[in-house]
Structure 1
Amino acid sequence: MSFPRQYARTRRFTLGAPSRFRISPDGRRVAFVRSQHGTDPQGALWLAELGSASPQAGAEQGAAGDTAGDMSAENTEVWHERLLVDPRSLAEDAGDIPPEERARRERARETGGGIVSYSTDRAMRTAVFALGGRLYVVSLASGEPQERADGVATGTPRELPVATPAVDPVLSPDGSRLAYVHNGAVRVLELDSGVDMVLAHPGTGAGETPEETSDTVTWGLAEFIAAEEMQRTRGMWWSPDSRAVLAARVDTAPVQRWHLADPASPESTPQQIAYPAAGTANAEVRLAVLAVPEARSHPGPVEPVWVQWDRAALPYVVAVHWSATAPPTLVVQSRDQQQLCLLTVAPHSGSSEVLRRESGQPWVEIPSGVPARTGSGALVWIAPLADTYALNVDGQAVTPPDLYVRAVVDAGVTAPEDVADGLPLASAARETVLFTASTEPTEVELWAYDPQRGLRRLGEPGGMQSGRLRGGTLVAQRRSLHEDRVHTWIERAHTPTHTVVSHAQRPELAPPRITLMRSGQEEIRTAVLLPSWYEPGSGPLPVLLDPYGGPHAQRVVAAYHAFLSPQWFAEQGFAVVVADGRGSPGRGLSWEHALAGNLADPPLEDQVTALHAAAERHPELDLNRVGIRGWSFGGYLAALAVLRRPEVFHAAIAGAPVTDWRLYDTHYTERYLGMPEQESKRYAHSSLLEDADRLERPLMLIHGLVDDNVVFAHTQRLSSALLAAGRTHTVLPLAGVTHMPADEVAAENLLLLQVDFLNTALLTTSGHRE
């Protein structure tokens, strides 16, 4: 199998790798998703649990046992894994995935199928998940395994009697109820009785004679901007006592309508989307507390308790947190993104108070994983400190200025009743905050803080790490430059460390031949990759820059898999340069704010700096043959490079490029460029359209015709401008493709066509295709 085909078939080698971990409060059970081999696109639900050294005895023992620290060497337990749910046994039809779920997966860049997400109760004894618009429940506690014919112990999933199609199921903390969305309505199913009730439908709160259906209103789902730009993928949250749901009501009526048509399917009706382009109206988002009745006497919705805050000044709902140790906490943001407020809400009245306010220019960044609460209710937050981001606990910064905090992952336990075997967890465990941070931007490490033990790094330094921590059990993942698969392990005191196997395929490609360096006075993190077969002094190599180059993303990281596609291009005979310029995370506030008002010049200057620095260190780089390729912002940067710096860049491939920032969404674009009506010069300078007559180098534009993030109009308008200017270029439209190609044949051929284009454009052939 060729590497491009393998790369596509394995979904970039993500299939078969464990992910989406959840840990029980006592730390004795760990649930996760993993498909069964490296080309299996169907995610399955698995459980690892502590038991005796005998797998059978371990299955029988289940969740009962001692807390961490009480086990002796004589009764040391080990972890046992078992398959709970194979989605194929439930006959999921991928074609039946509801549109709302497809949209959610698109926003999350989720390319797999089967079980891609699940929800559990607080004790993690039950899980619910969606397949093909239907909902299923399965026990996570021991004592309910069923032996399949092949000898694999699995749970017994049961389909739930819900209205279909059903999306985004959320289990109540006590496990008795399930909230989900059907046709824009929030519904709740009582698991024991099977009673299914409507809490709010699209007409709720709309007036005296509300309609149950609406083309513009949905309850319980995240709107486009929240999911795409704020990483808020959820639109409803249970109260800790399982008696109410805090839900978002989204009305897209103010948002302009765009239409996406696929010319390859002329019989299909164009898809209409509500797209909030820069300077235009956003969706109206409100929040309400919906009380769940004990018994239903009528089918109508309940009376919402509307959450009150200054929505005109702070229209963006960024995050919601509701734990037993504190009232509901909201994060809301101003449209200019220069104010971020934390509000506490009185759930019975809907009134709110300001708990914390962050203000700053040119914008205030949205911190990841917060707000959160420790077991005692202390607020966990991430706030600027000097030129970095610090972890704040109970209003105090607990990390130093040389540690850049990336995200909060876990914060102790969420309720006083979270105990292990009836005994309260140690106070240190209840107050521990697990977070990711960097001392070097190419690395992300796991750190922990609690008031008793202070700040400490977990595991070996370096690499790209993530994890979960609960009940004294740590689940950690590490990617490094020297491992071709993610390493995942479960760690607990007095228990042998357990490795969670990855079934991901190993790349059929020579190991990346990487040189990491810092370029220019700005010390731009840069990677240079050479062909595995190249011998120093054997001749010059054409150069390919392969950046993203914009904000909120990094390409130069200490992880093997980050360089697989660049190494494949290197094997075709190129020296590949990857650089993270100004705007990329992990370097500090001033580094990120360097893009304020100008999305064009700083990113492009940094790519030129990195190229010249790489050539100084590697004289084999032929600066007379330089190509550049990229996707999304990287596509924009690639096209920008040949339009504005043709003396440096001799060919470009621009995939799904933003060509006119007036066509991109409000939250992202306005953060950097402001409102188009007031900052027309900024938009014009950062646009590609007015530079069309400057094209003098080969340019290939690639774009999915049904891309609902960077719509095809970007490429179409640039192509029209180039045609009007008489400039030759190539356009490769991808029928039926959204923002990222998923079909393996198309994805494979797309890589091969790019190499052919570059070889022709740069007048070279490599002859080393794998």
Structure 2
Amino acid sequence: RFRAGRPTAISLTLDGRAVLFLRSGSRDVVQDLYAYDVATRKERVLLSAAGLLAGAEEHLSVEERARRERQRQSARGITSYQLSHDGRRILVPLGGRLFVVERLTGAMRGLKSTGGFPIDPRFSRDATQVACVRDHDLFVTGVASGEERRLTEGGNATVTNGEAEFVAQEEMARSQGYWWSPDGRTLAYQHTDLTGVEVLRIADPAHPERAPQSWPYPRAGTQNAAVTLGLIPAAGGRTTWVAWDRERYPYLTTVVWTENAPLTILVQNRAQTEEVLMTVDPATGATTPLLTERDDAWLNLSPGMPAWTRDGRAFLWMTERRGALQLELHARDGALIRALTPPEPGLRDGVDLDEAHGMVWVRGGDDPTETQLFQVPLDPRRGKRVRVTVEPGQHGAVFSEDRSTFVHSLSALGGTPRWVVRARDGRPLGELRSVGETPILTPHLEFTVVGDSLQFHAVIVRPRDFDPKRRYPVIVSVYGGPHSQTVTKSAQGYLVQQWMADHGFIVVSLDGRGTPGRGRAWERAIKGDLIDVPLHDQVEGLVALGRRYREMDLTRVGITGWSFGGYFSAMAVERRPAVYHAAVAGAPVTDWRDYDTYYTERYMGRPDDNPKGYAAASALTWAKDLSRPLLILHGTADDNVYFFNSLKLCEALVRSGRSFEFVPLAGYTHMVADSLGVAQVNQRTIAHFMRYLGPGR
């Protein structure tokens, strides 16, 4: 509810004079496209979803719905757009149609098609052509002529062209399946053969008359999609296939093709312990290695890397080979020019390369609960690293290409998120307005660090009517898995936790080993077993909190989470019932053999190579030991953590004679996003803890 009405999908024109963004109303999810004039500090509606639809109902294909699920996109209306490189044209997909808008005049044309829902439409660099995927094949349309050309043939549910496969979208954060060359003459595209990939089906139990939906889903240890990369002329013609050792490096994780720079790809082995960055000769498809990374545990992908300089003579790269994340500058042939930062556990990612001023903007900081903005010189002899932001919280930035203007996003404690338009020197030039509702409560938070052998960051949420003389039951709000944190200093990040606390509880969250921002050894400590180390750390941190804060009654502890957090909650009451006395598990992975290859094998290896680890990490193994109240909630249409995960746990509990409660969320996916569904989940959760733990006394 309080996320509606915020600016999203922010972009700036080349000269920084205008900012474009999407925004919905305060109580709806339908987004329109807005433009903010930096000189006048005024905004206007550039395009409305209702106007484009002209009264028609918005239509989404099954594939588009799945794609949005991968992106955790719950909005409707205009959910994406592309601003042309020169800032004159805007490409907007809506309801299965494509619209090209002249930004300065407002003139608009719809692009005709031969049929099929357009997936991932994109301008060529000069915005004279638009490419998209229809019915699993790649098409290009001339903006002026309206002529559509089919570039590939033979696309179907098993063989696709121009589409990213499931694990690329869900786990690699790569939704793109094709890439324009800078001159607009060629497209690189992903060709995917799903033959042999296991197909899972989702039926709608509430509508047995409907046919089930089928999705290729590679479970751990099973066959993956076979991915190749082709190069095809935009005018049509023969495909040139890119050559690399696909048997050794089956994962195509990254493709970058920028002006003056070579086509660059990053490929990984299946174990994700080795990766090669290489350039591609578009004429022949031949590849040349630039650098190789290796890690005994696994390699993390760095968003935005490699980042090439404008002249294509060098690129930025991030590595953890020295024990923590480090930013490097490499020559065109891959040779290291210099390290731009020392190995730092707190370094998160690169934000922008500002060559004109000789610097790189990065995010990070010494405190893992925050992300600050820093400027790092490209040549250390010409300056030192400068911290740009000061206020505790989460900071980000989006820049115009000339770097004259940027939008500074700030989510800090004690306030609402803000989007400030700034000049390069930091002067405020206005603010993108949020029309979202202001929450009726302000979280009462205490951040602390606890632990004996290790130090864990924690946050404590007390009732607003907290009485220090009383003792309160504790609810642990947990994720507990890799690549995510629950303890962050951010605006409105703990509204649900405060709502739960106000029912007479103290709500706490802790980040143990396996979470990011604490260095390679801290994160890789979970290799081979996704539960033992995280559960140990959560217990140790909770006990330390109980010793320090006597108002916490550790004889009454509940635990709740979603996805990995749901899995963790179920395992907590199964394996540590003396510590956790009730649990609510939302959409849990109950057996890691049933989750996807890329995520699961990164941490656990393949099931055949680690059978004991998989068995020990399965909630099914420990179902016989459940002795505490457990509530399970799961969306029946979940295509990420499939509904059968919870059904398998229910079956194991029934066969073990254990009592539990189960709430199937009919029609919901992994992302319960609408207000009614969220309210149902929250109300069932707090009712469970009120019943079995009781409020403070």
Give the structure-2-normalised TM-score.
Answer: 0.95
Q: Which residue of 2 aligns with 1:372?
A: 307
What do the CA deviations read for 1:172-200 (whole angstroms, capped 9, x no partner)?
11111101111111100110111110111
Q: 1:738 aligns with which of 659, 669, 672?
A: 669
* Matching of residue 119 in structure 1 with residue 50 in structure 2: no
Partner SS for 2:608: coil
* Matching of residue 383 in structure 1 with residue 319 in structure 2: yes
Q: Which residue of 1 aligns with 2:242?
A: 307
* Matching of residue 618 in structure 1 with residue 618 in structure 2: no
* Aligned mates of 2:359, 2:5 — CA distance in 1: 31
What do the CA deviations read for 1:222-259 (whole angstroms, capped 9, x no partner)?
11100100111111111111111111112212211111
Q: 1:328 aligns with which of 259, 263, 266?
A: 263
Q: Post-superposition shift, 1:510?
A: 3.7
Matches within 5 A, 1:245-644: 245-293=187-235, 302-377=237-312, 378-384=314-320, 386-394=322-330, 395=336, 396-402=338-344, 404-412=346-354, 428-429=356-357, 432-451=359-378, 452-470=382-400, 471-472=402-403, 473-493=405-425, 496-537=428-469, 539-644=470-575
The answer to whether the Cα contact below 8 Å between 2:473 and 2:696 also exists between their aligned partners in 1 is no
Q: Which residue of 1 aligns with 2:597?
A: 666
Q: 2:686 aligns with which of 752, 755, 768?
A: 755
Q: Which residue of 2 aligns with 1:103?
A: 66
Q: Post-superposition shift, 1:496?
A: 4.9
Q: RMSD between aligned alpha carbons?
A: 1.8
* Aligned mates of 2:696, 2:32 — CA distance in 1: 41
The answer to whether the Cα contact below 8 Å between 1:512 and 1:560 also exists between their aligned partners in 2 is no
What do the CA deviations read for 1:649-678 (whole angstroms, capped 9, x no partner)?
100000000110000000111011111112
* Aligned mates of 2:3, 2:383 — CA distance in 1: 36
The answer to whether the Cα contact below 8 Å between 2:345 and 2:520 also exists between their aligned partners in 1 is no
* Aligned mates of 2:467, 2:281 — CA distance in 1: 69
The answer to whether the Cα contact below 8 Å between 2:407 and 2:419 also exists between their aligned partners in 1 is no
* Aligned mates of 1:315, 1:169 — CA distance in 2: 26
Change in 2 beyond 3 A, CA 1:436/1:496: closer
Q: Post-superposition shift, 1:325?
A: 2.1
* Aligned mates of 2:678, 2:426 — CA distance in 1: 47
Q: Which residue of 1 aligns with 2:184?
A: 242
Letter in 2 for 1:464: Q
The answer to whether the Cα contact below 8 Å between 1:315 and 1:334 also exists between their aligned partners in 2 is yes
* Aligned mates of 2:349, 2:88 — CA distance in 1: 27
Letter in 1 for 2:218: P
Q: 2:18 aligns with which of 29, 50, 53?
A: 29
Change in 2 beyond 3 A, CA 1:338/1:253: same
Q: Post-superposition shift, 1:363?
A: 1.1
Q: Post-superposition shift, 1:156?
A: 4.4
* Aligned mates of 2:496, 2:138 — CA distance in 1: 43
Partner SS for 1:582: coil
The answer to whether the Cα contact below 8 Å between 1:577 and 1:614 also exists between their aligned partners in 2 is no
What do the CA deviations read for 1:365-396 (whole angstroms, capped 9, x no partner)?
11122111122322111111532101112232
Matches within 5 A, 1:758-769: 758-762=689-693, 764-765=694-695
Q: Post-superposition shift, 1:631?
A: 0.5
What do the CA deviations read for 1:671-704 (whole angstroms, capped 9, x no partner)?
1111111211110111111111101100011111
The answer to whether the Cα contact below 8 Å between 2:392 and 2:413 also exists between their aligned partners in 1 is no
Q: Unaligned stretches of 5+ in structure 2?
A: 331-335
What do the CA deviations read for 1:97-151 (whole angstroms, capped 9, x no partner)?
12222111101111111122212222222111211111111123x3x1xxxxxxx
Letter in 2 for 1:679: N
Give aligned pairs, total: 683
Letter in 2 for 1:134: R
* Aligned mates of 2:356, 2:279 — CA distance in 1: 26
What do the CA deviations read for 1:415-446 (whole angstroms, capped 9, x no partner)?
xxxxxxxxxxxx524x5433222321111112
Partner SS for 2:510: strand
Q: Post-superposition shift, 1:23?
A: 2.2
Letter in 1 for 2:315: L
* Matching of residue 186 in structure 1 with residue 122 in structure 2: no
The answer to whether the Cα contact below 8 Å between 1:163 and 1:182 also exists between their aligned partners in 2 is no
Q: Post-superposition shift, 1:167?
A: 1.7
Q: Post-superposition shift, 1:589?
A: 0.4
Q: Which residue of 1 aligns with 2:48?
A: 86
Structure number with the bigger relative contact order (C-alpha 8 A, sep ≥ 6) is: 1
Larger mean CA deviation between 453-462 and 581-590 belongs to 453-462
Change in 2 beyond 3 A, CA 1:365/1:315: same
What percentage of residue pairs aligned between the two structures are identical? 38
The answer to whether the Cα contact below 8 Å between 1:84 and 1:156 also exists between their aligned partners in 2 is no
Larger mean CA deviation between 575-584 and 510-519 belongs to 510-519
Q: Which residue of 1 aligns with 2:34?
A: 46
Change in 2 beyond 3 A, CA 1:303/1:456: same
Partner SS for 1:45: strand
* Aligned mates of 1:137, 1:512 — CA distance in 2: 47
Q: 1:712 aligns with which of 621, 643, 647?
A: 643
Larger mean CA deviation between 183-192 and 469-478 belongs to 469-478
* Aligned mates of 2:563, 2:81 — CA distance in 1: 29
* Aligned mates of 2:696, 2:80 — CA distance in 1: 43
Q: Which residue of 1 aligns with 2:333?
A: none
The answer to whether the Cα contact below 8 Å between 1:660 and 1:714 also exists between their aligned partners in 2 is yes
Larger mean CA deviation between 402-411 and 604-613 belongs to 402-411
Change in 2 beyond 3 A, CA 1:487/1:536: farther
Partner SS for 1:96: coil
* Aligned mates of 2:682, 2:56 — CA distance in 1: 30
* Aligned mates of 1:659, 1:624 — CA distance in 2: 27
The answer to whether the Cα contact below 8 Å between 1:390 and 1:404 also exists between their aligned partners in 2 is no
Partner SS for 1:290: strand
Q: Post-superposition shift, 1:605?
A: 1.0
Q: Which residue of 2 aligns with 1:210?
A: none
Q: Which residue of 1 aligns with 2:8?
A: 19
Q: Post-superposition shift, 1:560?
A: 2.4
The answer to whether the Cα contact below 8 Å between 1:98 and 1:167 also exists between their aligned partners in 2 is no
Larger mean CA deviation between 397-406 and 464-473 belongs to 397-406
* Aligned mates of 2:58, 2:146 — CA distance in 1: 27
Q: Post-superposition shift, 1:403?
A: 5.7
Q: Post-superposition shift, 1:411?
A: 2.7
What do the CA deviations read for 1:494-522 (whole angstroms, capped 9, x no partner)?
97522111122111224333343333332
Change in 2 beyond 3 A, CA 1:766/1:156: farther
* Aligned mates of 2:68, 2:158 — CA distance in 1: 20
Q: 1:196 aligns with which of 141, 148, 158?
A: 148
Q: Post-superposition shift, 1:402?
A: 3.6
Q: Post-superposition shift, 1:752?
A: 0.9
Give the structure-1-normalised TM-score.
Answer: 0.86
* Aligned mates of 2:148, 2:192 — CA distance in 1: 23
Q: Post-superposition shift, 1:765?
A: 4.4
* Aligned mates of 1:447, 1:126 — CA distance in 2: 32
* Aligned mates of 2:131, 2:344 — CA distance in 1: 43
What do the CA deviations read for 1:614-669 (whole angstroms, capped 9, x no partner)?
21222111111110001000001100110000011100000000110000000111
The answer to whether the Cα contact below 8 Å between 2:482 and 2:514 also exists between their aligned partners in 1 is yes
Letter in 1 for 2:664: P
Q: Unaligned stretches of 5+ in structure 1?
A: 1-9, 56-78, 145-154, 204-212, 294-300, 413-426
* Aligned mates of 1:623, 1:369 — CA distance in 2: 44
